[in-house]
Structure 1
Amino acid sequence: MTAKKGLIQRGERRQGLGRKYHSIRRSPKEKMSEASSLDGRWEIHKESQSLPRNSAPTRLHRRRLLTGRPGANHRDSGPPRHVPREMAHACLSPGPVKSSWQ
């Protein structure tokens, strides 16, 4: 089962916008720490609010590489949670041993 193609494409567009506006989005944060007056901070805040919403890194969502479905990825290896188990059952990954107590 795979994710809807529109959701995958929306995520790819957001990644592209995030890369495009990364340096622009970072510069107001640096200016904010240097600003001394509250009015100066408000101006910098307005400047950062003028950027597209979809360029914010918090709007990105991690998706599985093979199916494009969201969530449940292993932090170290990347595949979803059930893939290492399936690989162990199919003897594709070295190390894990399937045990049975019946």
Structure 2
Amino acid sequence: MARESVKARERKRQKLVAKYAAKREELKANGDYAALDKLPKNSSKVRLHNRCLLTGRPKGYMRRFGISRVVFRELASQGKIPGVKKASW
């Protein structure tokens, strides 16, 4: 499980990206790279990293569900994810 500070930092980056998204697009379209450079570095979406919503785990992230493979397996075996069941053949 990730430390709370790491998860908080990632949430802060997500807020900054959302806040400056329109302004970044406008500056990129105009080619004003000097003004773009003055925006906060964490407002760039390439700085975001996919993390599990429940544990904050950075690796083994499943985009479709927003959680890591470990949590996914746990929830799926408990039957808490609709439409997902353990395969057997």
Q: Where on the TM-score scale, by shorter chain, does this alignment land: which range?
A: 0.7 to 0.9
Amino acid at match of 2:59: G
Matches of residues 30-45 of structure 1 in structure 2 within 5 Å? Answer: 30-32=29-31, 44-45=32-33
Contact 2:57–2:68 under 8 Å retained in 1: no
Q: CA RMSD in A?
A: 2.1
Percentage of identical aligned residues: 35
Long gaps (5+) in structure 2: none
Aligned counterparts of 2:71 and 2:12: Cα–Cα separation in 1 = 27
**One-letter amino acid of the counterpart of residue 55, structure 2:** T
**Long gaps (5+) in structure 1:** 33-43
Distance 1:13 1:95 in 2: 35
Distance, in Å, in 2 between the alignment partners of 1:19 and 1:84 is: 27
TM-score, normalised on structure 1?
A: 0.69
Of structures 1 and 2, the one with the larger relative CO (CA 8 A, separation 6+) is 1
Does 2:47 correspond to 1:59? yes
Contact 1:28–1:48 (8 Å) recurs in 2: yes
Classify 1:76/1:59 alpha carbon distance in 2 versus 1 (closer, same or farther; 3 Å).
same
Shift of 1:74: 1.7
Count residues in correspondence.
86
Task: Specify the structure having the higher radius of gyration (Cα).
Answer: 1
Give the secondary structure class of the aligned counterpart of 2:63.
coil
The structure with the greater share of residues assigned to strand is 2
